[in-house]
Structure formats: C-alpha cells, structure tokens
C-alpha cells in the first residue's frame, strides 16, 4: 500500500520529536514535509535538532530537510494530513489557514480546542465526536481535530470506563514532568532540586476538557505541580460517584476497557492496573506497546464513598504526539482518505 504523505509542523520541539520518532516506521503514514522556526530552514533534522528522547534518533529522519512554512509546497509534495506541534499562539494562525486550504490538521495545541465545531478526540473514549469535522465543512473543506492537554489525556483514559457509575466529583493533583513545558522549557535554576505548585492555565484546561471529552458535568478540583523528572505525568485522583462503588468494580472496568478500534497506535489494554504499592512511577513512562501509549493505574483505595488512585501518562506520547497520530489513524479508518 502506498503510504499517506504527512507534514509535521513544529518538528523540532518536544512533541514534534515524538511525532518524528513514531512516524519514522509508521505502517500508514510517511513524513514528506517538516517545519520549525525560521532559523532552522534548509537545515538537516539531525544537524539542528536537540534530540531529547531516551532512544537513538531513527536513521530515516536524520537527513530530512526543514522547510519554510508554505502550503503550496505542501500540496506539491502530496501532503494531506498535517500534525501540528506548534506553540498555541502560532497554531492560532497556522491551523485555521491550513484548514481553509483543505488540509486535515491533527493538533497538539490548545488554540482551537474549545471551538464548538472542533473535537478533542481520544479514540478509546469519544470516537463519535470525530463526526464534528462535518460541522467544519468536511469533506468540502479541511478540518482541525485536537487532542487534549496531557494531564487530561491520562485522566480521561482512566475515568472513561468508570462513567457507568456516574461521576459526581473529580479531585486531581498532578505531578508533571519538565518535558511538559517543551524545550528549552523551564530554567534549570527554577526546577533543579525543586517542586513548583503552579503551571499556568493547566488547571482550567483540565476542568474544561474533561467535561467536553467525556460529556460529563462533575465538580472538578485541580492542583497542577511541576516536579523535577524528565518524562511522564503522575496524577493522584479521588472520585465521588452517584452510586456506591467497590475497588473490585473499578479494576474490572479497567480490565474490560479493551482496544475497540484496532488502530496501529492503540494498545490492546489502554489502561493497565497493578496492585503494587510502588506503582505507577514516572520511570515507567516509556513502557508498553506502542511505547508510551498505555496509561498506568495503581494505589487504588476506598475511603467512605470515595475512590482514590494514582495514574501515570506519558505526556509526550499518549498525552500529545501519540494521541494525535492515533486520531489521524481513527480518521483514516472511519472516513478513508479523499485525496483531491
């Protein structure tokens, strides 16, 4: 099968690097065009990027040349799908422009997430919201599909199978790695040997997004804390339900939450529970198949009516790049791909 040509815009950042790594041997997609900021134009990827991932850079991407952002060139190269890993303020201009020009944009940025006609898609939890692309004019026009904020991605995965019990209240405190702030991100002066109890706009995003993704309306309490680890966000969660729920029912719900859409990037068991008292830990962030796409849960307990647990999500994979690639796979599976 001929592969579908895709672009990665913002390919040198933390999220863009994971896009490049995951797309290097993707069964359906092939990178035909990449961009970064102006200073890198015409440079080979390996010569200019500051590679952050704990694996060797795939050799197939090393000599890819960074292009100037130009939609005509993208069209000439046969690109139809665009993965956007741009900062929100740049995405706010670039993504609507790409959509108007007929591209199918899978975005990691928050710029358009809250628009009424733009889905925040997590295929395991809300696949039918993909049809919102018709409200954007598809198939006559392009569209933007976003993935959620990285903390929300882990939270949505862990609580989606618990919706059957009626979620009344969510109380979540996140312990977020430095890669969540991109590269170069925080100053080492600020984060070395330190914990910072505030991440701008993060708490508001979780509250808004969890309601939009899961179509639920609980009271949501959040604290977001930055911790000095490289990858993976841990979240301590307490839930209150409309009915009395036992820990065994929670474990059963997670175990029965199987891959229902058979996408290349969806793990067989997207939420993996382990009863060990020391699970999950941030250093497991790259575990699983595909690496970083599983959400890990542990420390399950009940106090009065409330259920508590801890989860781990890889912010750069399930929480961003991998999520957007999975969303593109979901689109191709559901709609096929019309190449004009």
Ligand X SMILES: NC(=O)c1ccc[n+]([C@@H]2O[C@H](COP(=O)([O-])OP(=O)(O)OC[C@H]3O[C@@H](n4cnc5c(N)ncnc54)[C@H](OP(=O)(O)O)[C@@H]3O)[C@@H](O)[C@H]2O)c1
Q: Which residues are known catalytic residues?
A: 150, 233
Q: Does 108 bind ligand X (CB under 6 A)?
A: yes
For ligand X, the binding residue among 96, 182, 290, 308 (CB under 6 A) is: 182
- Segment near ligand X (CB under 6 A); pick from 8-16, 96-104, 285-293, 332-340: 8-16
Exposed/middle/buried for 113, CB within 10 Å: 0-12, 13-18, 19+?
A: buried
Q: Which two tokens stand for residue 196?
A: 């910072």
Smallest gap from Cβ 182 to ligand X, in A, equals 3
Smallest gap from Cβ 238 to ligand X, in A, equals 24
The site map against ligand X for 143-162 (x = CB under 6 A) is ------xx------------
Chain residues 23-52 in contact with ligand X, contact rule CB under 6 A: 35-37, 40
CA dihedral 32, 36, 41, 46 (to 10 degrees): -70
Q: Output 144 or 307, the one with its CB closest to ligand X.
A: 144
- How many residues bind to ligand X according to rule CB under 6 A? 30
Exposed/middle/buried for 33, CB within 10 Å: 0-12, 13-18, 19+?
A: buried
Contacts of residue 337, defined as CB under 8 A and 6 or more positions apart, other chains included, come to 4, 80, 81, 331
For ligand X, the binding residue among 4, 6, 7, 13 (CB under 6 A) is: 13
The residue assigned the tokens 């790695």 is 177
Q: Does 267 bind ligand X (CB under 6 A)?
A: no
Q: Output 90 or 216, the one with its CB closest to ligand X.
A: 90
Smallest gap from Cβ 333 to ligand X, in A, equals 23
Smallest gap from Cβ 88 to ligand X, in A, equals 5
Smallest gap from Cβ 210 to ligand X, in A, equals 15
For ligand X, the binding residue among 65, 73, 87, 168 (CB under 6 A) is: 87
Chain residues 286-325 in contact with ligand X, contact rule CB under 6 A: 315-316, 319-320
Please check whether residue 153 is in contact with residue 323, taking contact to mean a CB–CB distance below 8 angstroms.
yes
Q: Does 105 bind ligand X (CB under 6 A)?
A: no
For ligand X, the binding residue among 85, 121, 172, 250 (CB under 6 A) is: 85
Q: How many CB atoms lie within 10 A of CB 266?
A: 20
For ligand X, the binding residue among 57, 90, 196, 230 (CB under 6 A) is: 90
Phi and psi based region of residue 194 (left: phi greater than 0; alpha: psi -120 to 50; beta: remaining) = beta
Q: Output 86 or 214, the one with its CB closest to ligand X.
A: 86
Please check whether residue 7 is in contact with residue 78, taking contact to mean a CB–CB distance below 8 angstroms.
no
Which residues contribute to the site for ligand X (CB under 6 A)?
10-16, 35-37, 40, 85-88, 90-91, 108-110, 149-150, 179-180, 182-183, 315-316, 319-320
């Amino acid at each position: 099968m001929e592969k579908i040509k895709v672009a990665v815009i913002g390919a040198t950042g933390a999220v863009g690097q994971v896009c490049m790594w995951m797309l290097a041997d993707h069964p359906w997609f092939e990178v035909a065009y990449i961009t970064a900021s102006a200073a890198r134009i015409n440079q080979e990827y390996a010569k200019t990027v500051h590679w952050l991932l704990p694996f060797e850079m795939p050799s197939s991407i090393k000599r890819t040349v960074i292009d100037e952002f130009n939609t005509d060139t993208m069209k000439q190269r046969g690109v139809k799908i665009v993965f956007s890993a741009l900062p929100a303020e740049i995405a706010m201009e670039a993504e609507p422009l790409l959509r108007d020009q007929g591209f199918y944009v899978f975005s990691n940025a928050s710029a358009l997430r809250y628009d009424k006609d733009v889905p925040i898609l997590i295929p395991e939890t809300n696949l039918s919201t993909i049809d919102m692309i018709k409200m954007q004019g598809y198939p006559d026009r392009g569209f933007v599909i976003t993935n959620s904020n990285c903390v929300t991605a882990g939270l949505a995965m862990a609580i989606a199978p618990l919706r059957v019990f009626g979620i009344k209240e969510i109380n979540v405190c996140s312990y977020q790695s430095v890669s969540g702030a991109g590269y170069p991100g925080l100053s080492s002066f600020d984060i070395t040997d330190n914990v910072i109890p505030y991440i701008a706009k993060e708490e508001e995003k979780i509250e808004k997004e969890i309601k939009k993704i899961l179509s639920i309306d609980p009271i949501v309490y959040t604290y977001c804390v930055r911790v000095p680890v490289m990858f993976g966000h841990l979240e301590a969660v307490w839930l209150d339900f409309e009915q009395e729920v036992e820990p065994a029912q929670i474990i059963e719900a997670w175990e029965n939450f199987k891959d229902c859409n058979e996408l290349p990037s969806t793990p067989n068991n997207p939420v993996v529970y382990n009863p060990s008292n020391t699970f999950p830990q941030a250093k497991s962030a790259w575990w699983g198949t595909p690496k970083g796409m599983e959400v890990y849960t542990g420390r399950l307990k009940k106090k009065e009516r409330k259920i508590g647990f801890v989860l781990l999500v890889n912010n750069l994979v399930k929480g961003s790049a991998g999520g957007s690639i999975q969303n593109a796979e979901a689109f191709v599976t559901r709609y096929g791909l019309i190449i004009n």
